[in-house]
Structure 1
């Protein structure tokens, strides 16, 4: 039995759940997965049993005692894993690259609302271009500029934002699905980064398991 349990929501649309899940799968950190189905009359009560905020993801680590064995909020989970497993290099070693990676990850955590709401994560939705409003387009352009900056400054060693896979890539993984679903024809460098994330075995596993979910939500047109 693993010492970690990760509580997540529906894989088809729970974007915050995807972030620590794909990081732990890709980095081969063993964990047990518990899915709490969202959008049901019982969801709030079920989440209250496992999450202090009533939201997922939540990571339970059995040896952790001072917080009741629990870490919540996606970025906190990734930081906790980085502390536990420094050899996994969830943050770049170079201090300048690490500062940029943390800034990019935090900007994702707190921002890009119009992109997230205009292009909701829905792995059932057929691919096709969907225009955003003016603010959404500005945010989309900012995301691409940020990806470009990270790749140009620190991404020469591999296909990800900082060469190797980091917490910043985990934070942007759901955004990658949005660009792929709604973005239409992408700029070549954006397409290359999107394809690199989607090619991860962990991402392919998430997509495959999302496709097997028997529940109707969300519909393919949502």
Structure 2
């Protein structure tokens, strides 16, 4: 059985991606949630289970094989269960989906930095910085292209829920948490992601957590 180690569901965006990938695989798994940055964090991350990733989550153990980094977890699981469960069948769509997933993995630094994930909160909207506006413009450009070219009759970026949606899911939560300006065309996609049963399960678990990390609780623009 797979063993997936993740951080707090309220805050850990990369854990969400890895967890969604495991749920999408359909494989049985054991889930271990560890509170990030608590008193035992430094000691815990030095343990044998965390050593390969230097303490970063998510980390997936598949027997003796260890895989860390959310995009690597997606690829590992796709190899295990069939790539069609994660990626579009059409080559052009698959190429675009892979590119978008990789761009999400490596880009959008301002959006990540200034609007960390906090699924439990809803803040009054504050005008985003120019850097975040640029990230949002690129984000919505990608979504529009994917939906127009390959969305078809489905609700997600490439029709069916897949790896690209997994990578963008934490961004969807940020748009809602911070009330970030979202064009009308993107709202049905945003709703589809939030209503997906996997994300609903994650949100319910996040709401039930009693861990609070203060640095992730400050409203945008609040004094440090």
TM-score after normalising by structure 1: 0.91
Gaps of 5+ in 2: 220-224
- Quote the residue 2:222 is aligned against: none
Structure 2: distance between partners of 1:83 and 1:151: 26
- Quote the residue 1:212 is aligned against: 208
The alpha-carbon deviation at position 104 of structure 1 amounts to: 0.4
Contact 1:27 1:88 in 2 (8 A): no
Gaps of 5+ in 1: none
Alignment counterpart, residue 122 of structure 1, candidates 112, 115, 118: 118
Cα RMSD between the aligned structures? 1.6
Task: Give the 5 Å matches for 1:141-220.
Answer: 141-184=137-180, 186-218=182-214, 220=217
Structure 1: distance between partners of 2:119 and 2:91: 36
Structure 1: distance between partners of 2:59 and 2:69: 7
What are the Cα deviations for residues 113-155 of structure 1, in whole angstroms up to 9, with x where unaligned? 1001111101122243232211110011100110111111111
- Quote the residue 1:24 is aligned against: 22
- Quote the residue 1:221 is aligned against: 218
- Quote the residue 2:57 is aligned against: 56
Structure 1: distance between partners of 2:74 and 2:3: 14
The alpha-carbon deviation at position 41 of structure 1 amounts to: 2.8
The alpha-carbon deviation at position 27 of structure 1 amounts to: 4.6
Give every structure 1 segment of 4 or more consecutive aligned residues whose post-TM-superposition deviation is greater than 3 Å: 218-222
Question: Measured at CA, do residues 4 and 114 of structure 1 come closer, stay the same or move farther in structure 2, by a change above 3 Å?
Answer: same
The count of aligned residue pairs is: 215
Deviates further, 136-145 or 184-193: 184-193
The alpha-carbon deviation at position 87 of structure 1 amounts to: 6.3
Deviates further, 42-51 or 112-121: 42-51
Structure 1: distance between partners of 2:129 and 2:176: 18
The alpha-carbon deviation at position 48 of structure 1 amounts to: 2.6
Structure 2: distance between partners of 1:18 and 1:130: 25
Q: Does 1:107 align with 2:84?
A: no
Structure 2: distance between partners of 1:38 and 1:10: 6
Structure 2: distance between partners of 1:130 and 1:86: 43
